[in-house]
């Protein structure tokens, strides 16, 4: 491994960015071969040891829909709880919330869609019906003292509907926040967003009363735009960026969605801009090399491959 990039801070960017690590959940949900519970727990432990302070642990979705995450309760029971570290879990409905509360979680996320096509494919409901389903989940979680994040997918394009109007993203996003979500994560599920598009969506949300302090961004790198889009979001004041260790993940319900923005690529990028993340890049790269070995294939992260001597695991 060869250290870190030189730092050249740019004006108008935040001094610190909170990385919302989604690898153990979003990164693994697509895997065809079952990943042992102990491996998932060890992955989370290593990510925390590398300095990540938000590590999404799992999803309390029905194992029929996402078999890979059918061990959610076992994962949560085996986790070491570290002070100052958050372990959100995805919760699809009231039954999922019951299971999550029984497992002792302290933060959840719900997953909505800006488009009707994806809402039907992902949740088997219309957008309105899905928001109605989430209402008691959010209120129940808030009543239990849990923080709630609202994911909004297909914000920048949909494989079935094509372009998604910015007004549509604002409408569904504000309704999700009105349910009681603390944060809205804007998802570029198929990776078609570009920097100007990102800033247009954030500006439109601002005009609707939703400032960047309530937003996170979740970019996929299908067209190589994830870091450029991240820069645009930082310029607009966003300080929460989702990423997946080693670039794992995609979306099981949208086949054109490739991997998430790799956490290592994001840390290298932010470090070069002089932005603090609190993450030890060498430890993170070593974690992704280890995970690649567990999965039997190299990491797609360019930074992992560069710092690990070109292999990124095997």
Catalytic residues: 251
Q: What is the distance of C-alpha 133 from the center of its chain?
A: 22
What does the DSSP 8-state code read for residue 104?
A: T
- Measured N-to-C along each axis, helices 166-178 and 127-143 cross at an angle, to the nearest 10 degrees, of 30
Count Cβ atoms below 10 Å from residue 74 Cβ, excluding itself. 15
Q: Using the CB atoms, write b or e for 213-224: b if 16+ within 10 Å.
A: ebbbbbbbbbee
Tokens of 54: 């938000």
Give the Cβ contact number of residue 297 at 10 Å: 11
What order of strands is seen across the sheet that includes strand 58-59?
54-55, 18-21, 240-243, 215-219, 183-188, 147-153, 107-113, 89-90, 58-59
Dihedral sign, CA of 72, 48, 281, 7? positive
Dihedral sign for Cα 130, 135, 141, 145, please. Answer: positive
Q: Which helix (H) or strand (E) holds 64?
A: none
Query: Using CA atoms in the order 156, 159, 164, 168, what is the torsion angle rounded to 10 degrees?
Result: -100
DSSP, collapsed to helix, strand or coil, labels residue 264 as helix
Q: Which two tokens stand for residue 264?
A: 């290592």
């Amino acid at each position: 491994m060869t250290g870190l990039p030189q730092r050249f801070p740019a004006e108008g960017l935040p001094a610190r960015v909170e990385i919302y690590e989604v690898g153990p959940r979003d990164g693994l949900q697509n895997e065809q071969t079952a990943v042992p519970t102990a491996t998932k727990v060890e992955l989370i432990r290593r990510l925390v040891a590398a300095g990540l302070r938000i590590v999404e642990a799992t999803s309390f979705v029905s194992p029929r829909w996402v078999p890979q995450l059918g061990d959610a309760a076992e994962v949560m029971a085996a986790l070491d709880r570290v002070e100052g570290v958050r372990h959100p879990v995805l919760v699809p409905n009231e039954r999922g919330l019951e299971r999550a509360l029984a497992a002792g979680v302290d933060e959840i996320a719900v997953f909505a869609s800006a488009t009707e096509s994806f809402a039907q494919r992902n949740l088997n409901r219309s957008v309105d019906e899905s928001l109605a389903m989430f209402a008691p989940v959010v209120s129940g979680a808030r009543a239990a003292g849990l923080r709630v994040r609202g994911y909004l997918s297909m914000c920048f394009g949909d494989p079935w509907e094509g372009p998604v109007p910015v007004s549509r993203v604002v409408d569904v996003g504000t309704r999700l926040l009105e349910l009681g979500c603390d944060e809205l994560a804007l998802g570029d599920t198929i990776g078609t967003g570009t920097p100007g598009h990102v800033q247009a969506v954030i500006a439109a949300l601002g005009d609707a009363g939703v400032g960047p302090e309530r937003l996170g961004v979740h970019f996929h790198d299908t067209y190589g735009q994830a870091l450029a889009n991240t820069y645009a979001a930082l310029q607009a004041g966003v300080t929460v960026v989702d990423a997946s260790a080693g670039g794992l993940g995609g979306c099981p319900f949208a086949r054109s969605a490739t991997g998430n923005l790799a956490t290592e690529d994001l840390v290298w990028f932010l470090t070069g801009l002089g932005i603090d993340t609190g993450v030890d890049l060498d430890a993170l790269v070593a974690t992704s090399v280890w995970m690649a070995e567990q999965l039997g294939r190299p990491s797609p992260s360019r930074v992992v491959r560069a710092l690990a001597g070109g292999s990124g695991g095997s």
